[in-house]
Amino acid sequence: MSMRGRLTTVLVLFLVAVGLVVVCVAAFIRPGTPGGVTDFTKSQPAGQPVHILAQTVGSIGYGPHPTWVTYMVMNPTTHQWVHDTTWQIPAHTKIDMTIEQFDSGSPIRNQEWGQVQGTIGHSMTLNGKTISSYNSYTGNGIGHTFAVPLMGISVPLVGVSPSASNVCGVAPCSLKLPHELIKFSFISGSSGEYPWQCFVPCGLGWLYGNGGPMSTQNYMGGFLDVVNS
């Protein structure tokens, strides 16, 4: 093969390699295929607080990724659990959130994620007890966070006991199974799209725990679609 031919081959292989890298990086940072939108704007009279009931589970138990950790949310109209993390809420409204946490926890790398931030009173209730922070090196550790960076919100979701034997394996989970009950409230901002995310690396089997469910919409992250009433 001539020198020009070899150079052409090397260039083609280089471009193919660059293309594969770009595709892999894009797949990592791009949200997964969007699902539906759960509408909370009509679940109460205008101006009244909105209630969102969600679950975090260690594995969804079905679908294309049955072993992936995920969020579930209760549809306020049908009162059925749905696998959707895009939630439409009214602007400038009090949002009361309840999260039933069924996953296990562990110490976290950054203790800042143990602080309750951006909620009303900068606090939450854990099984009925009001707290403003949680030390992940004590108790059951932290399983996940519910964080909305553009709203300054971050809430630690305490894990269930690591010694629990009857943990939930298929979502949605029954309250008869081990869980932690977390409640907090915040005021929604102006209209717009606000991404929310779990910041505890929980993508088991992925590099540094940040792939898979951590980078795929409808699992450990989504959007608050804030709209004017």
pLDDT for the residue numbered 4? 55
In CATH, what is the architecture of 37-227? Answer: Sandwich (2.60)
- pLDDT at residue 16 greater than cutoff 50: no
- Specify the range with the lowest mean pLDDT, choosing from 22-36, 148-162, 174-188: 22-36
pLDDT in tens, 84-133: 999 999 999 999 999 999 999 888 878 888 999 999 999 999 999 999 99
* Banded model confidence at residue 10, pLDDT cuts 50, 70, 90: very low
What is the pairing mode between strands 38-39 and 86-90? Answer: parallel
Percentage of residues in the chain with pLDDT exceeding 70? 81
**Lookup: tokens for 36:** 């539906």
Cβ count near 168 (within 10 Å): 23
- Specify the range with the lowest mean pLDDT, choosing from 22-36, 161-175, 206-220: 22-36
pLDDT in tens, 65-84: 999 999 999 999 999 999 99
Across the range 5-32, mean pLDDT stands at 38
Across the range 164-177, mean pLDDT stands at 91
R_g of the chain, CA atoms, integer Å: 20
Average pLDDT over the chain, rounded to an integer: 84
For the chain, the DSSP string reads --HHHHHHHHHHHHHHHHHHHHHHHHHHHS-------EE-SSSS-TTSPEEEEEEEES---SSS-TT--EEEEE-TTT--EE---EEEEETT-EEEEEEEE-SB-B--S-GGGGB-BSSGGG-EEETTEEESB--TTSTT-EEEEEEEGGGTEEEEEEPBPTT-SS---SSSPPTTSS-EEEEEEEE--SSEEEEEE--S---TTSGGG-SGGGGSTTTSEEEEEEE--
